């Protein structure tokens, strides 16, 4: 990215945006970060479902690059609010892709391991997607639209996202941490779902590197390694220094069938075949990343209540 680049970021108020914004604003380029709700002083408001609003944002920024982070990622919400899911995750991606093409901008689209159906133990970049949920289907539609419409695109498939710390992490790590902070000394964690943790800090740094290359395309983009939810929980508890005080109990997915009713694949573990083959992989092993990330929670845990 050159110093005269103009970057528009959508959906930047969440856990990924918390890493992506500093990764890009630290350069000399002009960066405009937006979200549906401008919850930070460095954010402005943009609803990607509204084509007119997107046109006004593009006209104002005239971006040379668009980072499209805006998405609904709560699978249960997406199953019960299907119209909002498709308008946000599919139509929103179309709106941004149409304008990225009009402005000849590079477009980065954040896809998901949830586009796969779990028929294999792990999936590489060329495996055929078979999404099971409305969330997965809508995100896959967005991936297809961006790849077809925008000549210079990076569609990057993330795995089990972790990042943003106690304030912004909406995913598995913070859910475990909240139980521990509340005094839980027994955690019931599924051991029959497999995937690949993806640290937002590594993801953002890697995106910053990739957009400086001409190797556009669709990529699996996760941390190295993989495991079950149980494996991640055990490692997190160990890193917090609580392995002697907290018992992590294996359960099947049926244990949470009422709370987590959206269909999920048995395995959504990804391997970075294309990144590795092209010498572009900047993602570290998930255990290394979790060790770094856990330090944030350790400080929070040790702080006075």
- For the cut 80, the answer to whether the pLDDT of residue 110 exceeds it is yes
Give per-residue pLDDT as tens, 56-102: 999 999 999 999 999 999 999 999 999 999 999 999 999 999 999 99
3-state helix, strand, coil in the chain (%, to 5): 40, 20, 40
Note the maximum CA span of the chain: 58
Alpha helices per DSSP H over 188-271: 200-210, 229-239
> CA–CA separation, 22 vs 201, rounded Å?
10
Give per-residue pLDDT as tens, 198-212: 999 999 999 999 999
Percent of the chain exceeding pLDDT 90 equals 93
What is this structure's pTM?
0.94
Q: What are 297's two structure tokens?
A: 């929670």
Q: What are 23's two structure tokens?
A: 């990764």
Cβ atoms of 169 and 178 closer than 8 Å: no
Q: What are 58's two structure tokens?
A: 């593009």
- Local confidence band at 1 (pLDDT 50, 70, 90 cut-offs): low
DSSP 100-169: HHHTT-EEEEEEEGGGS-S-SS-B-TTSPP---SHHHHHHHHHHHHHHHH-SSEEEEEE-EEE-SHHHH-
| Closest residue by Cα to residue 114 from 94, 134, 98, 100 | 134
DSSP run (H or E) holding 31: strand 30-35
> CA–CA separation, 22 vs 4, rounded Å?
17
Tell me the CA end-to-end span of the chain in Å, nearest whole number.
Answer: 43
Give per-residue pLDDT as tens, 3-62: 678 999 999 999 999 999 999 997 757 999 999 998 889 999 999 999 999 999 999 999
> CA–CA separation, 148 vs 143, rounded Å?
9
Q: What are the residues whose beta carbons fall under 8 Å from the beta carbon of 126, sequence distance 6 or more?
A: 273
Question: Please, what are the domains in the chain?
Answer: 6-162+197-220 (3.40.50.720), 166-194+227-267+285-302 (3.90.25.10)
- For the cut 70, the answer to whether the pLDDT of residue 241 exceeds it is yes
Mean pLDDT of the chain: 95
């Amino acid at each position: 990215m050159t110093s005269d680049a103009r970057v528009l970021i959508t959906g930047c108020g969440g856990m990924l945006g918390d890493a992506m914004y500093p990764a890009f604003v630290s350069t000399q380029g002009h960066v405009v970060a937006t979200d549906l709700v401008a919850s930070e002083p460095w954010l402005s408001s943009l609803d990607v479902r509204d084509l007119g609003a997107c046109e006004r944002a593009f006209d104002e920024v005239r971006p040379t690059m668009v980072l499209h982070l805006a998405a609904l990622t709560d699978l249960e919400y997406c199953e019960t609010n299907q119209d909002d899911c498709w308008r946000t995750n599919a139509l929103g991606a179309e709106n941004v892709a149409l304008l990225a093409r009009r402005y000849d901008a590079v477009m980065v689209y954040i896809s998901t391991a949830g586009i796969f159906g779990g028929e294999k133990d792990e999936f590489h970049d060329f495996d055929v997607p078979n999404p099971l949920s409305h969330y997965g289907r809508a995100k896959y539609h967005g991936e297809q639209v961006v790849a077809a419409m925008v000549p210079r695109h990076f569609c990057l498939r993330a795995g089990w996202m972790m990042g943003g710390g106690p304030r912004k992490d909406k995913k598995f790590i913070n859910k475990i941490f909240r139980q521990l902070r509340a005094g839980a000394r027994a955690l019931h964690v599924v051991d029959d779902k497999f995937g690949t943790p993806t640290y937002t800090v590594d993801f953002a740094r890697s995106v910053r590197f990739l957009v400086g290359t001409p190797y556009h395309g669709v990529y699996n983009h996760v941390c190295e390694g993989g495991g079950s939810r149980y494996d991640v929980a055990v490692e997190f508890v160990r890193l917090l220094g609580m392995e002697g005080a907290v018992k992590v109990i294996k359960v099947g997915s049926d244990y949470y069938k009422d709370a987590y009713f959206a269909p999920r694949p048995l395995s959504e573990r990804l391997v970075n075949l294309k990144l590795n083959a092209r010498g572009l992989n900047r993602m570290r092993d998930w255990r290394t990343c979790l060790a770094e990330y856990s330090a944030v929670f350790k400080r929070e845990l040790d702080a006075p209540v």
